[in-house]
Amino acid sequence: MLGLAAANVAGVPLVTWMGQVFGWRSAFGLVAAGGALLFVLLPIFVPTRPAGEGASPLSELSAFRSLQVWLTLATAAIGFGGMFAVYSYITSTLT
């Protein structure tokens, strides 16, 4: 969750500035270039590991039976919902 918050603190002002100076297509181009770079670098730097005994997508979904998982997801949804709600009013607040 820290990556999303950091991206909003650093990335949003950067691409807003780029969009104002170079046009909105430059901001989308930067995000696309970052995604393409990640697509290339991820398989290189993240090691491949074999699946464990009995591992399956269905067994992974069994985590949703835990109340702790649902509380964590709710905390994230409420926290990020509040953070993004502030962006709706940031311009009027700052001016």
Over residues 24-53, the pLDDT tens digits come to 899 899 889 999 999 999 999 999 888 888
Largest CA distance in the chain: 58
- Alpha helix positions (H), 1-95: 2-6, 12-22, 24-45, 57-61, 67-94
- pLDDT at 73 > cutoff 90: yes
pLDDT at 94: 74
Tell me which residue of 32, 2, 26 sits closest to 14, measured CA to CA. 26
- The whole domain housing 75 covers 58-95
| Average pLDDT over every residue of 44-67 | 90
pTM above 0.85, yes or no: no
In a domain, 53, yes or no: no
Residue 16: CB partners within 8 Å, gap ≥ 6?
27
1: pLDDT confidence band, cut at 50, 70 and 90? low
In a domain, 52, yes or no: no
The structural domain count of the chain equals: 2
In a domain, 42, yes or no: yes
DSSP state of 55: -
pLDDT at 35: 94
- In the numeric block, the tokens 């909105």 are attached to 24
Q: Are residues 42 and 75 in the same domain?
A: no
